Amino acid sequence: MLSIRDVSVRYGTTTAVDHVDLHLAASETLAILGPSGSGKSTLLRAVAGLEPLAHGSISWRGNDLAGTPPHERRFGLMFQDYALFPHHDVGRNVEFGLRMADVPAARRRARVREVLDVVGLAGFERRPVAQLSGGEQQRVALARALAPDPRLLMLDEPLGALDRALREHLVDELRELLDVADVPAIYVTHDHDEAFTVADRVAVMHAGRVVQVDAPAALWRRPIDPRVAQFLGFGPTVDAIARDGAVRTPWGVVPCGAPTGPVIVVLRPGAFAVRDGGPVTGVVRSHRFAGERVVLTVDAAGAPAVDVAVAPTAAPPDGTPIALALDPDAVLVYPRDS
């Protein structure tokens, strides 16, 4: 559907988007994930036609969009905070794009009814948006983006301004709504949990470049380099040497496929489990509650501290000696030059 080919966008001497290639299939939700300043919004704005391309092309079903102004692209946008008009009712908010396009009143009303139905807010036309819950406001924002019947939806950190608990709840809902709406979507976020929940595939950006595109499970399984792994919250990261099909880590020797030479070892979250008599010994330094689990930080002898999650009832007090086992599958080994 959408093809982004070798696209660069510059602001003066800053290259905000650097030779990006991305393709979006029908009905697919693609997340663009990266730290602040990595070029995510600029790429989205380029797709919307709001930024000129310094290089490359963006096409829809094979047709180059270079000569198509933003309002003729039929791409819907949903921003952080939803940018709803607080003093208008739901109907007036949802029909905004239709008014802009001079759609006659009767057709506007019918379409508003239709999209409110899609997002589960049938009959909400006359409700003031200021009186809606966060979840309902999100649905109104989505209904507004859907009303002009866009062929692509673009969501730029739509949940970025909300607190974590609400975000976790709404992201599940958003995923369902996107499935029901059956429109391809690009979802920009700096939060990997959000990207994993909402997207079929995730494109990771760093310094203007797309460094990896994968399904969430594949991305979690094998981040392409240590930097992407760290961005996903993996760690600790240590330098080591691979030799004869194994790597000597500070937590023991682990088999690996890397050729002999210097490597970088990154541990996936959950790499350790408490195991009586386990080979890695240490002392519980601190603990924190994480919902159903308690995460212990353990100082292992001569090695960087590691986290291990346990059931709250099994959490020993700080200062307790503890033995751990390392899951070799959770040890990621990269050549040093990656």
Q: Note the residues at the interface with ligand ADP (CB under 6 A).
A: 11, 14, 16, 34, 36-42
Least distance in angstroms from the C-beta of 99 to ligand ADP = 28
Give min distance, CB of 67 to ligand ADP, in A.
23
Contact 293, 309 (CB under 8 A): yes
Specify the residue, 46 or 267, whose C-beta has the smaller distance to ligand ADP. 46
Do the beta carbons of residue 323 and residue 277 sit within 8 Å?
A: yes
- In the complex with ligand ADP, the residue whose CB is nearer, 10 or 109, is 10
Q: At its nearest, how many Å lie between ligand ADP and the CB of residue 278?
A: 41
Taking CA atoms, 119 is separated from 180, 194, 195, in Å, by 8, 20, 21
Provide the token pair at 65: 């969009």
Q: Which is nearer to ligand ADP, 39 or 91 (CB)?
A: 39
Q: Minimum distance from CB of 13 to ligand ADP (Å)?
A: 10
Based on CB atoms, which residue is closest to ligand ADP, 3 or 41?
41
Our CB check for ligand ADP shows the closer of 37 and 304 to be: 37
The 3-state DSSP class for residue 22 equals strand
CA-to-CA dists, residue 226 to 15, 147, 237, 238, 263, angstroms: 23, 42, 8, 10, 10
Question: Min. distance of Cβ 42 from ligand ADP in angstroms?
Answer: 3
